[in-house]
Structure 1
Amino acid sequence: MRIISVKEAADVVPNGATVAVSGGGYRVTPEALTEALSERFVQTGAPRNLTVVAIAMVERGRGGKGGAASGLNLLARKGMMSRVITSSFSRASSNELNMMISSNAAAAYNLPMGTLIQLLRATAAGRAGFATPVGIGTFVDPRQGGGKMNTAAHEDFCRITSLEGEEMIYYPRLPIDVALIKASAADERGNLFFDREAFDHGTIELAMAAFQSGGKVIAEVNRIVKVGEIHPRMGRIPARIVDAIVVQPDAWEDEQDPVLTGAERRVLTPPSGRNLPRDFIARLAVNRLPTEAMINLGAGLPMYEVPEQARSANRDDLYFTVEQGPMGGWPQVGGVSRNPELILDQNEVFQFYEGGGPDVSILSFGEVDAKGNINVSRFSGMMPGCGGFVNIVHGVRDLIFCGTLTTGSLNETLTPDGLVIAQEGRIRRFVKDVEQITFNAQMGLSSGKRVTIVTDRGIFAVTPQGLVLREIVPGVDVQRDIIDQIPFDITVASDVSTVSAALLMPAPQEVAQPDKTKRA
């Protein structure tokens, strides 16, 4: 095992290299390494012309502080980064990476998270590339842009091919020159362990792709342990492929929370009695879930509000899973779960999702159009990227999309009698044509999917003929609050029903069950 300083690690990266950075958000993130690399460029002007690859956006934004000057934003310097390939970008359009992409200072490609992981796995295995039907008919289809996010991305990253008569998107192998990765610990041989992480987020794929490409693997760890001190099942990366290790003892306060990593199990505090429109939408979604269902939760409202409304409703029967790896438990912000029952590697998660494993997926939407197409990747001046959304909707057959009908200065409250809209949102989320197709609704329907859109004002079914309003929220005027806010024709079902008034308010807290996983 070779231990080096962060400065020595930064010096390993040559000009023109393809550099892979592990992590998602602020977890499993080699922050000391990205900081050192950024400082080297500021001081010396090198390394230059880097291609940066990341499974997802890496930035330390928490608590409303944003993620500027952290993670991938540290590498978003003119001359330093020339291309970025990832599944998601910053949610803040003012952060450095998104500003660089918007100004065309670097070429940007947005790949589905599961596809990127599988491409790296194929690269690690020495294969020529990776072909998948995931993304056909969406913005990652070469005929609809091929995942290009700006005009600087003029080179094609993928192409259409055919296998046994089925259309596929083919991605050539993605060699990695340097992988900057994070683990909890290294033993004295140099094996890497993730015993204090909530997930590994495809880190093994990055490391193995770099090794097979003849590149370098530099690992940032919080501690060094003796061989055998940590259970071998917690090990993910063998010493053979690790070139050097940087030790950084400090970890962020909840980064290695044992309730999130599975090291401890606790009875959770009861959910709050908050009743914002997003809580109500989550409650509507939970009310539609079948007994004993396995549920995938996407980012945003589904991951944050749905688990809490399920807890309030005593839905101990539901089994939640999120794309970062946790299975079971109660998900929360950041792709983690409190009291998870098991944690899979992301490659395994996406194989499971693309094979249709979960019974239902609950996802957010940014835009919806007349055909029922969904856009979550680029809209209203925001560029969050698709994350694992495209992989999830490819496989899961029952899809529920959640969001408010309008947004931006929207002011509405819930009362026992119904929804009261004091001020309409200035931004319509139902649009004639979405800016990007992240889910092709009509292709989904043709493959047998059931697609439902749950909003603060009503519940829509997506059909081959378009959107059909099936349920109306009490207090809503259909013409004024729904039809007039949608710039295309919808159908109001002849048997349209009214949402139960009992769902307008949260369940009494004295009957809420705080922790379903204490049974384990």
Structure 2
Amino acid sequence: MSKHITPAQAAALIPDGAIVSVSSSSGLGCPDLMLKAIGARFEETGHPREITTLHPIAAGDMSGIKGVDHIARKGLLKKILGGSYPSGPSSAEPPLIWQMITGNEISAYNIPSGIMFDMHREAAAKRPGVLTKVGLDTFVDPARQGCAMNALGAGEPVVKRVNFEGEDYLFFPAIVPQVAIIRATTADERGNLTYEHEGAYLGGLDQALAARNNGGIVIAQVKRITKQGSLRPHDVRVPGMLVDYIVTDPDQKQTTQTLYDPAISGEIFHPLDSFDVPDFNIQKVIARRVAQELEAGSCVNLGFGISANVPRILLEEGLHGSITWVIEQGAVGGVPLLDFAFGCASNADAYMPSPYQFTYFQGAGFDASLLSFLEIGRDGSVNVSKLSFRPHVTAGAGGFVDITARARKIVFSGMFNAGARLDIVDGRLVIEKEGKLKKLVNAVEHITFSGRRAIEQGQDITYVTERCVMKLTPEGILLTEIAPGIDLQRDILDQSEFPLRVADALMVMDARLFSKDNLGLTLPQKPARVLAKGLEGAVHA
């Protein structure tokens, strides 16, 4: 019997009350046609009703791939658990899913992406759930919001704080999906899936296992179907034994605003001189200063925002290849892409399945992470996940909590105040008009990163802004560098809601950062790896 059916036929297979897991990362790997078919069926028949959907990373975006907005209908969607959500500019109408969340029409949760993949793995193996320290003392912790995004979510907890052998952990019960909707490039007639045009594997295999092992069904959306036996076994990422139905969309986009770029899927390499480097501006100054924190030979995670430009700073300085970039969607190495294509990389060395990339992050196997901030608190905590006055502008935390939970070194970057009008004149920073919104606050609105936990664990935390550099210490946040042209009291100390400590040997930021000329950047070599302290006995045991 053929596994190939129409999207409408596939949508008809989803029963009322089903738990549906969807593989996607914004526009990357989004099974958009299948989600559209579910929404269309509901509009026509009123079914399926009251479903719960699981999205380890966001499904869809605000630029041509609607994703979860296809199913954001009252009566259709009852509950949603997502690593992140489609976001949009403050001037635009919020996505439908945000309207439902802020209107308290569905139970909604923001669960760290890595933990969501772990929950699928535990469900697949019929284990009770995920026991982890990832998320302690953040919004994930039930001592705070417990991942809930609204009042309905708060009334149905999805995480518990438990004591295990004398230590505090978070416990996420496994959630069993009845349906998994995944995406690939090619399926053969038996349902074997290959990903040759995809920018990442994401977590389709884990989601398929979770559904299939528990008696559910797996629907795969692909661009094309080929004859059975024509796919190389080593290229198959999800075997046909796990796939029940196949739907085709020959027009599926590779990622947001990108129909197909073979360099994103590793089929060709673009010449390095084809990549744009940042124009000289305030954001470039910050990205340059972040780059000075790196060591050659390191593996470095990269987040959205100003820090996403750091690979292009290194490219401009002739240092491409000195750092191996690792991003949560799974790409390793290459040149991470910007803006709507963030999450993809051109010229990658390899692609890890996203669940395994998160295992790498959760266990702190990497050397450093470069991330952004919306707010910094008195205790060093960071908020990137919630602004009450502009909720749909933030996409949620994604893998931020997984990445920062144990990272050895984190460099947070952002503007010191929001809305300031700035210029660079003769190598000096000029504040033409001060911003109205302070970003260094007594207490952040949402704790995405816990400064208290960072101090307990001895993490190396740096905050880079256009006007200063700061470090997190047990005694508080310490100002270590100040930009040329900046008045310490007026432009920094008076612009923070809490007292900043000032280093005895306060330095002026490197003048080269504020010049249009290249930095002449050099990176110190990362020390050679040695056996981790405390493991010697285990090795010989």
The reply to whether TM is greater than 0.5 is yes
For each residue in 1:6-42, what CA deviation from the matched residue of structure 2 results, as whole angstroms up to 9, or x when unmatched?
1101111111111111111111111111111111111
Q: Does 1:283 align with 2:294?
A: no
Does the 8 A contact of 1:471 with 1:497 survive in 2? yes
CA distance in 2: counterparts of 1:407 and 1:233, whole angstroms: 50
The aligned counterpart of 2:36 is 35
Match of 2:76 among 73, 80, 83: 80
Q: 1:207 to 1:256 in 2, by over 3 A?
A: farther
Q: Aligned pair 1:187/2:183, yes or no?
A: no
- Which residue number in structure 2 is paired with residue 394 of structure 1? 405
Which region of structure 1 is more displaced relative to structure 2, 437-446 or 248-257?
Answer: 248-257
SS at match of 1:176: coil
Q: What are the residue-to-residue correspondences of 1:298-313 with 2, within 5 Å?
A: 298-303=303-308, 305-313=309-317
Q: Matched residue of 1:309: which SS? A: helix
Give the corresponding residue for 2:372: 364
**Whole-Å separation in 1 of the counterparts to 2:193 and 2:21:** 17
Report the counterpart of residue 271 of structure 2 in structure 1: 267
Contact 1:416 1:501 (C-alpha < 8 Å) held by counterparts: no
SS of equivalent residue, structure 2 residue 220: strand
Whether the 8 Å CA contact 2:278–2:313 is kept in 1: the answer is no
Q: CA 1:225–1:416 in structure 2 vs 1: closer, same or farther (change >3 Å)?
A: farther
Contact 2:131 2:170 in 1 (8 A): yes
Deviations 1:195-236 (A, max 9, x none): 111102111121111112211111111011234544333312
Unpaired runs of 5+ in structure 1?
A: 513-520
* Deviations, residues 234-276 of structure 1 (Å, cap 9, x unaligned): 3121111211101111132735421111111121315335022
Q: What's the CA shift string for 1:92-137, capped at 9, x where partnerless? A: 2611111110110111111111011011111111112111111111
Letter in 1 for 2:301: N
Match of 1:518 in 2: none
Aligned length, in residue pairs: 505
Which residue of structure 2 lines up, in the alignment, with residue 205 of structure 1? 206
> Which shows bigger deviation, 500-509 or 306-315?
500-509
Question: Distance between the aligned counterparts of 1:405 and 1:361, measured in 2?
Answer: 20
Q: Are 2:348 and 1:340 aligned?
A: yes
Q: Is residue 352 from structure 1 mapped to residue 360 from structure 2 by the alignment?
A: yes
The whole-number CA distance in structure 2 between the counterparts of 1:104 and 1:400 is: 35
Given candidates 329, 332, 345, the residue that maps to 1:324 is 329
Tell whether the 8 Å contact from 1:357 to 1:395 is kept in structure 2 after alignment. Answer: no
SS at match of 1:84: strand
TM-score (norm 2): 0.90
Equivalent residue number for residue 442 of structure 2: 432
Residues 1:134 and 2:106 aligned together: no
- The aligned amino acid for 2:307 is P
Matching residue of 2:533: none
Of residues 292-301 and 113-122 in structure 1, the stretch that sits farther from structure 2 once superposed is: 292-301
- Do the aligned partners of residues 338 and 168 (structure 1) sit closer, same or farther apart at CA in structure 2, a change above 3 Å counting? same
| C-alpha displacement of 1:415 | 3.4
In the alignment, the residues of structure 2 paired with residue 474 and residue 233 of structure 1 have an alpha-carbon distance, to the nearest angstrom, of 56
In structure 2, distance between residues paired with 1:428 and 1:96: 30
For 1:17, the aligned partner's letter is A
Q: Which residue of 2 aligns with 1:159?
A: 160
Q: Which runs of 5+ in 2 are unaligned?
A: 522-541
Q: Structure 1's 406 and 231: CA in aligned 2 closer, same or farther, altered over 3 A?
A: farther
Q: Alpha-carbon deviation of 1:308? A: 1.2
155-164 or 6-15, larger mean C-alpha shift: 155-164
Once the two structures are TM-superposed, the CA of residue 286 in structure 1 deviates from its matched residue by 0.2
Could you tell me which residue of structure 2 aligns to residue 104 of structure 1? Answer: 104
Does the 8 Å contact 2:406/2:459 carry over to 1?
Answer: no
> Which secondary structure state, in structure 2, belongs to the residue aligned with residue 73 of structure 1?
helix
Question: Which residue, out of 469, 481, 484, partners 1:459?
Answer: 469
State the distance in 1 between where 2:495 and 2:172 align.
Answer: 40
Q: Which residue of 2 aligns with 1:56?
A: 57
Find out whether 1:314 has 2:306 as its counterpart. no
1:506 CA drift (Å): 4.2
CA distance in 1, matches of 2:286, 2:3: 52
Change (3 A) 1:430 1:231: farther
Of 366-375 and 499-508, the range deviating more from structure 2: 499-508
Q: Could you tell me which residue of structure 2 aligns to residue 500 of structure 1?
A: 510
Which residue number in structure 1 is paired with residue 225 of structure 2?
224
Give the partner amino acid of 1:427. Answer: L
Partner of 2:171: 170
Contact persistence 2:298–2:367 (CA under 8 A): yes
Is 2:427–2:515's contact at 8 Å kept on the other side of the alignment?
no
Change (3 A) 1:38 1:423: same
User: In the alignment, is the contact (CA less than 8 A) between 2:253 and 2:259 conserved in 1?
Assistant: yes
Shift of residue 508, structure 1, vs aligned partner: 4.4
Give 1:414 deviation, angstroms: 2.4
Aligned to 2:396: 385
Give the aligned partner of residue 517 of structure 1.
Answer: none
